[in-house]
Every structure is written in C-alpha cells, then in structure tokens.
Amino acid sequence: MTGFEYLEEEIRQWKQERTFRSLTELESDQASRVKIQGREVIQLSSNNYLGLTTHPRLQEAALQAVKDYGAGTGSVRTIAGTFSMHEALERKLADFKHTEAALVFQSGFTANVGVLSSILSEKDVVISDALNHASIIDGIRLTKAGRRIYKHADMDDLEKALQETQGARTRLVVTDGVFSMDGDVAPLPEIVELCEKYDALVMVDDAHASGVMGTNGRGTVDHFNLHGRVHIQVGTLSKAIGVLGGYVAGPSALRDYLIHRARPFLFSTSHPPAVTAACSAAIDVLLDEPEWVDRLWANTRLFKKGLQQLGFDTGKSETPITPVMVGNDALTHKFSDTLLEEGVYAQGIVYPTVPKGEARVRTIVTAGHSRQELEKALEAFGRAGQKLGLI
Ligand code: PMP
C-alpha cells in the first residue's frame, strides 16, 4: 500500500544505522528461562521480579475466575463493568499500601496518565523529575497545569522550582520511586520534607518498587517509612505482581474524583475476571510468602557483584534493575545479540528510551533465577564483553 513512504524512509535509515529491531518472540512461558527461536535461554529482561507470572496460586485463581465469571467484563467500570472482585482487589491494595483507598486502571501507564491528566488545572503546577517514566511525561502533556522539570534527583533544583511556583493553587511533585532505566532510588524522604516545607503534594510511581522494596514489597513509601506523608502512590500490577494493570492508592477523595474524571478509567473496559483474580492472589502471595522478596534481593546482590567483578560499569543502580553501560547504540545491540548467542536474553536499551551516548544492556534478575542460572549468565557476560572489547 502506498502513502507510508515517509515512514518507510525513516525505517530504512534505522536499518542503515543498525538501530532497527524486530520484536523478540517468546515461545514459552515467562520464567527464569525462556525459549527464543527454539532455544532455551536465561531470561534477564523481564519485570517478573518475583517470578509470579507462573506461580500456581495466580494460575489457579485465574482459571477459576474464568469458569465462574467468564472471559471478559463487557463494559467500562462506570456503566456495567464493575464486578465485586474489582472492588475487593482495590480494598486489598489500599490495605497493602496503608492508604484509605485505591483504584485500578488497565495498566500502570494509564494509571499515571489518568491521574495526572485529571486532577490538575491551569491554576496548578506539576514539578517532575527529568528521568520520570514516559507515562508520567505523557500524563503531564495532557494537563493544562504549568510544568517544571527538575534535574534528576537534584534537591537544590527541586527547591528552586518550589520557590518559583509559590503562586499556584496546588503544586504536585512527581517522581518514580525506582528509576526504570538506571535502577536508582528516588530521594523520597528529602522530596517529602521539601514538599512539606513548601506545602506541595507528592506523587510517587512505584512501578519498579512495588513487590520489590519495603515490607512484603509495599514499595518505597514503606521502605522509607513515609506512610501518611505521600499523597499519591501509583503502582503497577504488570511487573512484580506478575499480571497486568496499574493502580492509584491514596485518599478516598482522590479515588472518587478519578472515578468521575480520569479518562482511561471512564472510557476503557475493565479488567477481565482472570486478570483481577490473579492480581488479588498475587497480593496474598506477597503477604504469605515473603521469601520471594528475600530471594530477589539475594539474587540481585550476587549478580550485581558478579558484573562489577567482571569489570562492567553498572551505573548507579541500587535495585534489581542493573544496567550494563555501553554508550553506543549499534554496539549495544551487538552486545545483546552476542549474549543471546551465549544463551542469555538481555535486551539493549538505546535512544530514545535513554539519552544518546547512554545506551546500555539492561538486566533484571528475579526471585525465580537459580544460583546456577545466574553464574551461567555471568560467564556469558564475561565472554560476550571480552569478544566486543567492553571489558
Ligand atoms: N511507570 C514506570 C516507572 C514503568 O517503568 C512502567 C513500565 N514500563 C510503567 C509505569 C507502566 O506500567 P505498565 O507496564 O503496567 O503499563
């Protein structure tokens, strides 16, 4: 079909630059090992932090829900698509996060977009960390509020933004809890203190901290003991929880407001029963089986130390997200391809996901990896790194 020559031209350029990528197909379930092109390889690219995608309690809950309630819900929540299990999951999430209420969205992405695009007006200002996730950026793009971006985790710059926006009705400071590409943790206690000093609201996106940090994986607010001092907590059900979805946890007024004004909530069909039941089972697993979080951190320490001992630059990561810095986009893809030949799936992350010159292979270990798998993966990193002159 003609009409897309302008896109084809750009794609041709990507191919020339060797930055064009086909999607990688998994021919197995999402676990510590996956099958790619008929070969079993060690998976180091998923967000399946606790290995819950294949946990029997989640699988059984999903199967039972399909039998009892069918495959789909047939409506948006506000018309005929709210099932008792949706409300029950939200109560469970609110208890888990120690908040008054919670509201589930179809994804973490739409949770961020939903909250940011609805609760602010031209009278308000949103102040956002420069490295926040794309869904926060897109949510901000949809508001009429004033915008300020502060330098990544720079508290002097944040304070300057707070001083310069004192005329606004509401200031909302938003940060990722754990930054998705570097694996560093936001200085949340300092952010909260500044926001208290300047009477601003705080929102944290704990997509990579829920199920990972804090007691039973309750997230960064719990990790830093900031309960009651962070106004909005966003979480995802798609990563450590092992299923799909996102949620906003906070005061009841926030939930009530979002139900009436958050467009992704209002205009998109609710989660199928299987998804909702599996998410609910996952929260039970977090509460009943804390050993998964312990295993995740033991594996993280082992793997990170191993990469550093091999001589790789792992940036400023403090969490299971460990980048292996390369710099050049094409070389990063080559590194990832070489690792795959060596039996490890670790995806390269290049511009525009990260700034030019900061391309990296991003690794994420999970609680599901055995020590033997991690040792094999480290050997593969050593061989691939030497082959390409990275170490
Ligand atoms: N926030 C952050 C920080 C993320 O890394 C992601 C996922 N890439 C999201 C939100 C979106 O979550 P979901 O995959 O559930 O849409």
User: pLDDT per residue over 10-43, tens digit each?
Assistant: 999 989 987 788 899 999 999 999 999 999 999 9
The number of the ligand 1 atom at minimal distance from the alpha carbon of 112 is 10
Residues with CB under 6 A from ligand 1: 107-109, 112, 133, 135, 176, 180, 205, 207-208, 236, 238, 246
The number of the ligand 1 atom at minimal distance from the alpha carbon of 246 is 15
Coil, helix or strand at residue 380: helix
Are 349 and 360 in contact by the 8 Å Cβ rule? The answer is yes
- Report pLDDT for 159: 98
Cα 210 to ligand 1 centroid, rounded to whole Å: 11
Cα 192 to ligand 1 centroid, rounded to whole Å: 22
- Residues of each domain in the chain carrying CATH 3.40.640.10: 56-288
pLDDT tens readout for residues 331-340: 999 999 999 9
- Report pLDDT for 352: 84
Q: Give the residue among 56, 60, 61, 48 at the shortest CA–CA distance from 368.
A: 48
Cα 108 to ligand 1 centroid, rounded to whole Å: 5
The number of the ligand 1 atom at minimal distance from the alpha carbon of 236 is 15
Are 231 and 195 in contact by the 8 Å Cβ rule? The answer is no
Per-residue pLDDT band at 98 (split at 50, 70, 90): very high
- Residues of each domain in the chain carrying CATH 3.90.1150.10: 18-47+290-387
Q: Give the residue among 295, 315, 278 at the shortest CA–CA distance from 365.
A: 295
- Report pLDDT for 2: 85
Q: Which CATH number fits domain 18-47+290-387: 3.40.50.2300, 3.90.1150.10, 3.40.720.10, 3.40.50.300?
A: 3.90.1150.10
Cα 355 to ligand 1 centroid, rounded to whole Å: 18
Structure tokens at 115: 């909250």
What is the pTM (predicted TM-score) of this model? 0.96
Are 58 and 285 in contact by the 8 Å Cβ rule? The answer is yes
Q: Would the pLDDT of 118 be above 90?
A: yes
Coil, helix or strand at residue 318: coil
Candidate from 93, 109, 321, 347 with most ligand 1 atoms within 8 A of CB, to mutate: 109
Ligand 1 atom 5, closest CA: 180
Half-sphere exposure of 26 (CA within 13 A, CB side): 14
Segment 240-267 mean pLDDT: 98
Candidate from 236, 243, 244 with most ligand 1 atoms within 8 A of CB, to mutate: 236
Please report, in angstroms and rounded to a whole number, the separation of the first and last CA atoms in the chain. Answer: 47
Give 239-256 as a DSSP string: STT-S--EEEEE-HHHHH
ipTM above 0.85, yes or no: yes
Q: Give the residue among 307, 313, 241, 292 at the shortest CA–CA distance from 92.
A: 241
**Residues near 195 by Cβ (< 8 Å), separated by ≥ 6?**
162, 171, 173, 201, 202
Ligand 1 atom 1, closest CA: 207
Give the separation between CA 349 and CA 337, rounded to whole angstroms: 12
φ and ψ at residue 212, rounded to 5 degrees: -120, -50
Segment 298-319 mean pLDDT: 97
Candidate from 135, 206, 237, 362 with most ligand 1 atoms within 8 A of CB, to mutate: 135
Q: Which CATH number fits domain 56-288: 3.40.640.10, 3.40.980.10, 3.40.50.150, 3.40.50.10420?
A: 3.40.640.10
Cα 257 to ligand 1 centroid, rounded to whole Å: 22
Give the separation between CA 2 and CA 10, rounded to whole angstroms: 15
81's enclosing H/E stretch is none
Segment 357-373 mean pLDDT: 97
The number of the ligand 1 atom at minimal distance from the alpha carbon of 133 is 3
Candidate from 105, 179, 239, 354 with most ligand 1 atoms within 8 A of CB, to mutate: 239
Ligand 1 atom 4, closest CA: 207
- For residue 174, the cross-strand partners are 128, 203
Q: Give the residue among 178, 169, 167, 173 at the shortest CA–CA distance from 147.
A: 173
Q: Would the pLDDT of 1 be above 80?
A: no
The number of the ligand 1 atom at minimal distance from the alpha carbon of 132 is 3
Ligand 1 atom 12, closest CA: 108
Are 312 and 362 in contact by the 8 Å Cβ rule? The answer is no
Ligand 1 atom 15, closest CA: 108
Cα 348 to ligand 1 centroid, rounded to whole Å: 18
Are 259 and 103 in contact by the 8 Å Cβ rule? The answer is yes
Active site residues: 180, 208, 239
Cα 386 to ligand 1 centroid, rounded to whole Å: 33
- Report pLDDT for 49: 98
- For residue 86, the cross-strand partners are none
